[in-house]
Structure 1
Amino acid sequence: MTGPKTPKWRQLANEVRRQIEDGLYPQGAVLPQLKPAAEEAGVSYETMRAAYKALESEGLVRSVKRTGFVVLEAPGRRRVTRGTTITRDPARGYVFPAASRPDEPWETHGRPFRALVSAPPVVADHLGIPAGTKTLRRRRVTSPAGEPPFQLVDTWISPDAVEDAPQTAEPSTGPGGYLDRLEEAGHGPMSWTETIRVRAPEREEAQLLTISPVMPILETTIVGTSARTQRPIEVTVRVIPGDRVELVSELQRARSARWPVTPVKQKQ
């Protein structure tokens, strides 16, 4: 809604948003360059830039070097019911709470990446190794078939675990994936903990997900612990653009919240 006290940059952002929604600027189109757009609107360059940056923060456009602000495809938002149950599929192995739907085909964008790279401090802390230790990272960018990149997934496997299960470092980890190979190597049955947070993307993450660098991302970190050593041996970090997903949880009543309410007896 635009009112008399609405800042000019916000009024301009609202107008350009309407033009995008009406199809004047379709997916892939480049918005008018800042200087001529500002002159036509009778505002300063910085005011026009603030309007475009507001649209960028909403995920509607993306600033591309030497091109300008490009209109992005409007992604569908997915409702993800977050449970705490890990299931198993005969073909895929373990299935964690995620955004996929039963029998929905997904595809990989680009080529999956695997290499020994320096473990960042957070991952190193989880694995109990010095920061910078060369650690196996398996990276892939995936989405439902036909959709733009939906998530970037990095799996880090501790050096000791790779030594126990060398196939985890191979291009194909076989039926059930790397988790089955780790458990077969003596670490099963593994257990997992999950942490969820919202943060700003790193530059490389924004590029791989083709999102604005100011678009918040949802990050989930799952840490797998060995039953044999009782130490974490793998860390999987999944990042999803903030405009692509919303989390849903079904709330349960405790006994103290049961209905009908039990009357409180008054002391005589």
Structure 2
Amino acid sequence: MTEERAPYQRIADDLKDEITSGRLRPGWRVPASTELARRYGVTTNTANRALTLLAAQGLLIKKPGSGSYVRDPHPERRRITRGTHVHRRRTSGYSFSATRPDDPDWQPHFPPIYEDAPITERAAEILGLVPGTPVFRRRRMMSLPGEPPFNLSDSWIVPEVVQAAPAVRERGVPGGYLDAIEAAGHGPLSWYELTRARTPTIEEAELLGVDPLFPVMEICKVSVSASIGTPIEVTVMVIPSDRIEIFQELQRDHTAAYEVLSPPGGRADSATEA
């Protein structure tokens, strides 16, 4: 005897079948919760619960005021190599790029934003500031031409550094503002990264075109001042989790130096030691 499905689960399963079979294609709008409620004889809350479940599974994108749309199940997943080398060109400044050598130029989804904004809790935690404090932010959202947004990038700079290096407010090459920070007495900068998975904020979800329940990858690149030894800038990059995989080559420690194959649990020459 099979267990009876909850009404919202039945709706979700039916819609999932339509999506996986191709009857509902990527980019198509699915029936609204009011229409689903009439079709299945349930409340709109029950129907909306089914749509929310599918959005959390990455099958739908819920756009406030517009509806729910079928998400592309096979977006290009970019492999980002997070190595230990930072690149710099005199013409374009420092580079922490996710591009590949054969990529065309990446395109912005809106003009870069340079403004004072309330600092987020995560950035404030890293920089030792109070969340919500007005802090200078450089914001970009980029992708390859014709593709949906790949990443939303916010660079936050502590107020004392902005005051000492006002050139960071200027529009220009993406990595050039770090040169101004170093020239103001904080060079040479050093960096570290923090990576975690989380759900996006409402604003991030709307900008990136994902549901607020769909996980994203967050990569925080932290700039540390050489003169005071503390973080003075952090760039928070947010990427939909189905569009990225991170590659890092593993190196042998001296304790793992290769000499000769040995059987599990013992040395290769153990049988001869008697």
Q: Which TM-score band applies after superposition, normalised by the shorter structure?
A: 0.7 to 0.9
Give yes or no for contact 1:116–1:136 (8 Å, CA) kept in 2.
yes
SS for the counterpart of 1:110 is: coil
Partners of 2:90 and 2:11 in 1: CA distance:
53
Match of 1:143 in 2: 143
Match of 2:25 in 1: 26
User: What's the offset of the Cα at 1:56?
Assistant: 0.7
Structure 1: segments with no counterpart, 5+ residues:
none
1:263 corresponds to 2:268: yes
Partners of 2:129 and 2:35 in 1: CA distance:
54
Match of 1:54 in 2: 53
SS for the counterpart of 1:111 is: coil
SS for the counterpart of 1:208 is: helix
SS for the counterpart of 2:210 is: coil
Q: Please tell me the residue identity of whatever aligns with 1:64.
A: K
User: What's the offset of the Cα at 1:107?
Assistant: 0.8
Q: CA-to-partner distance for each residue in 1:167-210, whole Å, 9 max, x for gaps?
A: 101223x5851112212223221101111111111111111111
Match of 1:242 in 2: 241
Partners of 2:81 and 2:9 in 1: CA distance:
34
Q: CA-to-partner distance for each residue in 1:113-134, whole Å, 9 max, x for gaps?
A: 2211233344334333444433
Match of 2:229 in 1: 230
1:109 corresponds to 2:109: yes
SS for the counterpart of 2:28 is: coil
Partners of 2:72 and 2:89 in 1: CA distance:
33
Give yes or no for contact 1:91–1:176 (8 Å, CA) kept in 2.
no
User: What's the offset of the Cα at 1:94?
Assistant: 1.9
Greater Cα shift, 53-62 or 36-45: 36-45
Give yes or no for contact 1:91–1:175 (8 Å, CA) kept in 2.
no
Q: Please tell me the residue identity of whatever aligns with 2:220.
A: T
User: What's the offset of the Cα at 1:228?
Assistant: 2.1
Give yes or no for contact 2:63–2:206 (8 Å, CA) kept in 1.
no
Greater Cα shift, 138-147 or 42-51: 42-51
Q: Please tell me the residue identity of whatever aligns with 1:56.
A: A
Structure 2: segments with no counterpart, 5+ residues:
none
What are the equivalent positions in structure 2 for 1:201-220 lying under 5 Å apart?
201-220=200-219
Q: Please tell me the residue identity of whatever aligns with 2:244.
A: V
SS for the counterpart of 2:58 is: coil
Partners of 2:195 and 2:34 in 1: CA distance:
41
Flag the 1:164–1:69 CA change in 2: closer, same or farther, 3 A: same
What are the equivalent positions in structure 2 for 1:117-196 lying under 5 Å apart?
117-172=117-172, 176-196=175-195
TM-score after normalising by structure 2? 0.81
- Give the aligned CA root-mean-square deviation in angstroms: 3.0
Partners of 2:34 and 2:126 in 1: CA distance:
49
Partners of 1:43 and 1:157 in 2: CA distance:
51
User: What's the offset of the Cα at 1:145?
Assistant: 1.7
Greater Cα shift, 207-216 or 123-132: 123-132
Give yes or no for contact 1:183–1:189 (8 Å, CA) kept in 2.
yes
TM-score after normalising by structure 1? 0.83
Flag the 1:19–1:91 CA change in 2: closer, same or farther, 3 A: farther
Partners of 1:115 and 1:211 in 2: CA distance:
25
User: What's the offset of the Cα at 1:10?
Assistant: 5.4
Partners of 2:255 and 2:41 in 1: CA distance:
62
User: What's the offset of the Cα at 1:91?
Assistant: 3.9
SS for the counterpart of 2:238 is: strand
SS for the counterpart of 2:251 is: coil
User: What's the offset of the Cα at 1:79?
Assistant: 2.2
Aligned length: 264
Partners of 1:103 and 1:182 in 2: CA distance:
31
Partners of 1:232 and 1:140 in 2: CA distance:
21
Match of 1:79 in 2: 79
Greater Cα shift, 255-264 or 79-88: 255-264
